[in-house]
Amino acid sequence: MSKYFYDSFAFIEYFHGNVHYKSYFEEHTGITTIFNVAEVYYVVLNEMGKVMADEMLKTLLSYVIDVDGEIITKAMLFRFVHKKKKLSYADCIGYEVARLKNILFLTGDKEFKDLPNVMFLK
């Protein structure tokens, strides 16, 4: 069983039934940040309403790890270096968490496709 960092994109694709993500959630474990949870909550709120978003929130919170100042600093430096890609704060923080924890960043976000330490799925 492997451990992954679950990007917002990965959660959303899994919830939408994308078979490429199924095993990563059902046969492996993962972590995320509160920033990614906020992004997913907003998407679910928009697509399925508040009741479903609130239910999803209860599940997602079990994946959340703390983020410290070192991660924030490194993530924002990463975002600055890659500013032409217009990466979100949440994505940069998540990518840095994955790198520091030596786990793969699971995403389908095309901006991360060719970066190291990424498990890119469509």
- Mind listing the pLDDT tens digit for each residue in 91-105? 999 999 999 999 999
pTM score, two decimals? Answer: 0.93
Residue 112 contacts residue 9 (beta carbons within 8 Å): no
Which of 86, 80, 84, 87 has the alpha carbon at shortest distance from 105?
A: 87
Residue 36 contacts residue 2 (beta carbons within 8 Å): no
pLDDT of residue 83: 94
Element spanning 5, H or E: strand 3-6
Q: Phi and psi (nearest 5°) for 70?
A: -60, -45
pLDDT of residue 122: 86
* Structural domains of the chain ordered from first start: 3-120 (3.40.50.1010)
- Mind listing the pLDDT tens digit for each residue in 17-39? 999 999 999 999 999 999 999 99
